[in-house]
Amino acid sequence: SQTIHQWPATLVQPVGSPLSLECTVEGTSNPNLYWYRQAAGRGLQLLFYSVGIGQISSEVPQNLSASRPQDRQFILSSKKLLLSDSGFYLCAWGVNYGYTFGSGTRLTVV
Amino acid sequence: AQSVTQPDIHITVSEGASLELRCNYSYGATPYLFWYVQSPGQGLQLLLKYFSGDTLVQGIKGFEAEFKRSQSSFNLRKPSVHWSDAAEYFCAVGANFGNEKLTFGTGTRLTIIP
């Protein structure tokens, strides 16, 4: 069966520090992968999606970046975090629009 | 570009009462429509989806939704809610081609009272 792993579950980082969130998928190959952010009291905002290794599309201009070094690995990064980067980050993979979400990372930038 | 509106930020219903959560979408063609549920601090779980065909869609946990093209709506219903249904519910729309991106609404938080 397909599973998706996302870590860490919670993270507190100072402003200006770097960020790396990792997401891996098991049990499927060549999935479409997505990073969403959920800010407090708001819906989900699509940040990046990838249809294959090294293929990244950005939806929202920001100081975040994403990479897909392997078929089933999707990484969200930042060189310098801003306060506004705080939120709940969700990784998802999708086949035929059936999204499976990870359990999320709660990021607090202080 | 597609968009989704969930007009109700928070709804409170009594356990055993019926439920309807509203969702309106904007999309130039026939959309793909979804409802997801999110428990606190967790990821999202798919409740049901509509691609084509019968406009009344059955999902998990006793939920159903009806696609009404004339009203651009895809409302979620349940005849009798349980305390375990307390969660946040998200409606989403996807284009019927391409990279399967979903656009989510802002969500409706459901509280169940005894």
Least confident of A78-92, B41-55, B58-72: B41-55
Determine the pLDDT at residue B30. 78
Q: What is the pLDDT of residues A54-79, one digit of tens each?
A: 999 998 867 899 999 999 999 999 99
Interface of A with B (CB under 8 A): 6, 32, 34, 36, 42-44, 46, 49, 51, 57, 59, 90, 92, 94, 96-99, 101-104, 106
Residue A61 neighbours by CB under 8 Å, 6+ apart: none
Backbone angles phi, psi at A84, to 5 degrees: -70, -5
How far, in Å, CA of A3 to CA of A91, rounded? 12
Q: How is chain A split among helix, strand and coil, in percent rounded to 5? A: 5, 60, 35
How far, in Å, CA of A90 to CA of A46, rounded? 9
Mean pLDDT of B56-77: 96
Interface test with B, best of A44, A91, A93, A95 (most B CBs within 10 A): A44
How far, in Å, CA of B50 to CA of B92, rounded? 10
Determine the pLDDT at residue A31. 87
Contact list, A59 vs chain B (CB under 8 Å): 101
Determine the pLDDT at residue A43. 81
Q: What is the pLDDT of residues B22-54, one digit of tens each?
A: 999 998 777 899 999 998 888 889 999 998 889
Question: Chain B: nearest CA to A87, how far in angstroms?
Answer: 11
Mean pLDDT of A19-41: 89
Query: Is residue A84 pLDDT above 80, yes or no?
Result: yes
With cut-offs at 50, 70 and 90, classify the pLDDT of residue B96: low
Q: What percent of chain B has pLDDT over 70?
A: 96
Nearest CB to B106; choose among A43, A59, A90: A43
Query: Is residue A96 pLDDT above 80, yes or no?
Result: no
DSSP B28-77: SSPPEEEEEEE-TTS-EEEEEEE-SS-SEEE-GGG-EEEEEGGGTEEEEE
Residue B54 neighbours by CB under 8 Å, 6+ apart: none
